């Protein structure tokens, strides 16, 4: 068995089965306003995700070509970020009364995906794996 098979499968499982803010907000908006009124919002999310994938691929290629010696540091930064995410789950937050959504459209969906750290992280990792499939070859 290849040594990267388990990390790849666990990563894939987590990315597929854990909903991010895009999934949750699109479902909530669709149920509140209906499909037709949420199309612009979902189009903004799609455009933003495409741009994130494009920039992630270019960024990964740039880092691999020019700064491969920093990969160990980047791994530790990524691990520290994941630890911070886990700790932040246990920090209490104050939540006020939710208002009815207003101004939901293309820009709102675009910004939601653009500012989503899970989407950016998974895009960078996915592009890295797809761009260099030799990692998974036996």
Question: Alpha carbon of 63 to those of 57, 71, 117, 134, 135: distances in Å?
Answer: 10, 9, 19, 17, 17
Q: List the domain boundaries for the chain.
A: 53-91+100-138
**Tokens read off for 4:** 């990267």
Give the model's pLDDT for residue 102.
61
> What pLDDT digit, counting tens, does each position of 63-95 carry?
778 877 877 787 788 788 888 888 888 888 766
> What pLDDT digit, counting tens, does each position of 31-42 carry?
888 888 889 988
pTM above 0.95, yes or no: no
Give the model's pLDDT for residue 25.
85
Q: For a pLDDT cut of 90, what percent of the chain falls above it? A: 1
């Amino acid at each position: 068995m290849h040594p990267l098979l388990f990390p790849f499968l666990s990563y894939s499982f987590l990315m597929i089965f854990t909903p991010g803010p895009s999934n949750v907000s699109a479902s909530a908006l669709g149920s509140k306003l209906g499909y037709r009124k949420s199309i612009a919002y979902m189009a903004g999310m799609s455009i933003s995700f495409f741009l994130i994938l494009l920039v992630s691929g270019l960024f990964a290629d740039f880092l691999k070509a020019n700064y491969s010696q920093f990969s160990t540091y980047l791994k530790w930064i990524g691990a520290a970020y994941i630890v911070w995410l886990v700790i932040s789950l246990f920090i209490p937050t104050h939540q006020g009364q939710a208002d009815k959504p207003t101004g939901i459209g293309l820009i709102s969906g675009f910004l939601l995906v653009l500012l989503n750290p899970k989407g950016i992280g998974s895009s960078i990792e996915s592009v890295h794996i797809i761009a260099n499939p030799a990692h998974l070859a036996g």
